Amino acid sequence: MSDLLIARSLFGTTMAFHIIFATIGVGLPLMILAAELIYQKTKDQDYVVMAKRWTKAFAVLLGVGIPTGTIAGVQLSLLWPGFMEVIGRVMPLPFQIEIYAFFIEALFMSIYVYAAERIAPWMRIASLVLVAIGALSSAVLITNVHAFQGTPAGFRYEDGKFLDIDPWAAFFNPSFFVTAGHVALSAYVVGAFVVASVASFKMMKNKIGSRVYLFHQKALVLSLVVGGIFAFLTALNGHESAQYLHKYQPEKLAAAEGLFETQSHAPLAIGGFTDPETKEIKGAIEIPWALSFLAGNSFDTVVVGLNDYPEELWPPLFIHTLFNGMVFIGSALIMVPLLVFAWRKFLKKAHYPKLMLWGLVTTGPLAIIAIECGWIFACTGRQPWVIYHILSTAESATTATNLGTLFISFIIVYMILGLSVVLVLLYFFRKNTELDDIERAEKKSIPLFSSNS
């Protein structure tokens, strides 16, 4: 492997690992907040117990999300010093403002967890709202840097110099709102379906109609409602993201769809593999005219094909599969809640059959796979550029060599963290069962939150 390839793999691994915890870290607070609010309305203790247990899981995940995020932030400067020099000069605001979002999240997360019993209920809700806002803002702001990489703005670039710098214009670069919206909405999808997975798994393991079963059934219904709504919004917004690619990064869309000839009435290819030798897509189901319509809301839209670009500027062609994976999962996650509700409301079935529960268990992991596909598609599909048509990845990379040992060390540490976080979660929730928490909630005298936090 060349040093550049190792640097790319190292950074990609860091991001792929961080994103799991970061996305759940954005999504879960919304679920906790929903449960707290339902409790305030219904006074059903089960929802407090849910909020408490999810908070606990959230606190554990933070133990990995924060250090891996710190790695991501510092590694940007260590591996891509050329890139960060440009970002520092032209686009410093998102990172700068993000720090405040981190502070808000960190301060109020500690307050929510360690001072829960000492503050008024409204203050507890307010802290939680601030945690959710902090997490959401960090996601939106960091995504803004990524948006800038795709649609750079706010400067004039001449002879390798950055002139007429306007940091706010860079901040409000063309794809900011669409991209940040997509990341935020999809994070809520992930948060909801991760909860749905756990709830349906627990329902399978407990007797139908038992106390614990009913507890998880409430969680499942809540998560499917939230998840379904946000999956639908994500797809709508994803459509808009694709149109932005058509407008701003046409070669990325062409590679995502395996399109070589520039044409109107372009077909949408689903599945299959792109063959660079014969310049065609193999084994795909093609829907005539659909791509043109997707890209510009009209069949006459001319979609640019890869042949218009020299081959060395093509993004890697496997991003077609990543794009398909994301869209396929996104569509499935809209259907799943609809099917479950149809089953319950129209077919009037009282129980969830085992097969359906197994299906529901897969939704959380699928949502995470969609996130990974989406990001690798977005970042790798930008290659060979780190800032689109301005700065190449190779130019921005560190000049240091022998990165192999570092790569291996980071992988080992991620494996240790990944394994131990799973073990810690399993250990904790086995030792503190739902029943323990429900009992604690019923006996008012025992503090629910800090009793074991």
Partner 1 sequence: MADALIAITVLWGFVFIYAVMATMDFGAGFWSMVYINREKTKATNIANRYLSPTWEVTNTFIVALVVAVYSLFPSAANILGTILLIPGSLILLLLALRSAFLVFSNIATEYKKPLTYISGIAGIIIPGLLISVLPITHGHYVDFADGTVNLNLNKLFSSPNEYAFIGFAITSTLFLSSLLLADYSKASNEMEAYRVYLRDGKILGPISLIMALLIMITLKNEVGWLYTKMMEDLPLLLISVGFFLIIGFGLYAPNPFQKGERGMPRLAVIAVTIQYLIASYVYGKAHLPYIIYPNVTIESAFTDPNSFRAVFITYIVGFAILFPGFIYFWSLFMNDKRYLRQKGNQ
Contact residues: ligand HEM, CB under 6 A? 8, 11-12, 15-16, 18-19, 21-23, 25-26, 62, 65-66, 69-70, 72-73, 76, 80, 83, 102, 105-106, 135, 138-139, 142-143, 145-146, 183, 187, 372, 375-376, 379-380, 382-383, 386, 393
Choose between 113 and 191: whose C-beta lies nearer to ligand HDD. 191
Minimum distance between the CB of residue 25 and partner 1, rounded to whole angstroms? 12
Minimum distance between the CB of residue 254 and partner 1, rounded to whole angstroms? 33
Total site size for partner 1, rule CB under 8 A: 72
Minimum distance between the CB of residue 156 and ligand HEM, rounded to whole angstroms? 22
371 binds ligand HDD (CB under 6 A): yes
271 binds partner 1 (CB under 8 A): no
188 binds partner 1 (CB under 8 A): no
Q: From the list 12, 33, 37, 85, which residue makes contact with partner 1 (rule: CB under 8 A)? A: 85
| 16 binding partner (options partner 1, ligand HDD, ligand HEM, none; Cβ < 5 to 8 Å by kind) | ligand HEM
| 21 binding partner (options ligand HEM, ligand HDD, partner 1, none; Cβ < 5 to 8 Å by kind) | ligand HEM
Site for ligand HDD in 304-363 (CB under 6 A): 326-327, 329-331, 333
Site for ligand HDD in 205-264 (CB under 6 A): 234-235, 238-239, 241-242, 245, 252
Residue 371 corresponds to which tokens in the numbers above?
């996130």
Q: From the list 236, 415, 416, 435, which residue makes contact with partner 1 (rule: CB under 8 A)? A: 416
26 binds ligand HDD (CB under 6 A): no
358 binds partner 1 (CB under 8 A): no
| 190 binding partner (options ligand HEM, partner 1, ligand HDD, none; Cβ < 5 to 8 Å by kind) | ligand HDD
Binding site for ligand HDD (CB under 6 A): 150, 179, 182-183, 186, 189-190, 234-235, 238-239, 241-242, 245, 252, 326-327, 329-331, 333, 367, 370-371, 374-375, 378, 381
